[in-house]
Structure 1
């Protein structure tokens, strides 16, 4: 299979060239454009989530040989959560090569956190299926960069951190409101807005309200830190 110019260039961005290009095509194919002859990336996403978990568990245990399970767990969650996967996906411009149906394109699917995070996990599985665990591990650690080293600060719950930020400045706790809900009932996508008393706010998307609130809090913290 010959890849498109965009997907061929994408291989350079991730640092892996596929012996089986069909795996890359499948990893970038969203369910909204899938067909009998064009399978979507959901099965790869399922596998990639597990591969990412193994790689990060190994990395955390190797970076801190004295940490207890109670210390490792929140760090692990911060590294593998959908928001982090989507953040990495944006850094490599994964959205530009996602294959989406018209409805998802019109509603900004290339920027949606859930779609980007899922595709990032599918990409990890595609590399794993193409070249094995060592290749997948190498790509993940390369793309995640210094996140493993600085995960202690990232492991704080974003909603708690945002509330502490507000309280430290004598402000009321932030409020969260549903800005939008899309997708079918079995796979909803919530867009939540987190807002401070002074009007500053940010939005986040996720398959559940709780996760979307966390994403919104994380986005607002990033703006405040900036």
Structure 2
């Protein structure tokens, strides 16, 4: 049986996930551009599917400078930015490189971009998320209850799709249902089939979730 959280978050994400991710060539970048460029987190999750990625870079488009360069292990498909403080209002792009130092996303127009919200807005959101956590903890809610409520706020009130996904993806402790839900959202965002997200083993409950998502997820046009 699917945990109610899984169904709830599927409903929240279904209208906001950008089908196709930032796909170019062999790689699909899922976040930080899952459904819009604006971000609350100054330590964004960078998640991709497929492609042999040797390192990831974050570059400032405004100042035309390299702000982060991170080597990766051969098995990595995600990392969290931990470079110099990001500047609110500036536009950044994520570049995935192969072992020869060449960008895997060949079309520069397809490089995923993000913009950190201004300080006041980020502070307001942080305070609201803390209030949500305190309210649910006072009622002896579970970690999953807290995650669900925070993700709902980020999606419904702020339309911060990548932040909401990161909230779910990095939740600790997690559950098998929660983990498979993020795998399914990733697969759907990148146009993959179910077996790629479940190691070839179909799960009836997750199949139903995927069907619900795939029937209603809306496409958001790429940046002009």
Which range, TM-score by smaller chain?
Answer: under 0.3
Structure with the larger strand share: 2
Between the two structures, name the one with larger relative contact order (CA 8 Å, sep ≥ 6): 2
Whose radius of gyration is greater, 1 or 2? 1
TM-score, normalization by structure 2:
0.26
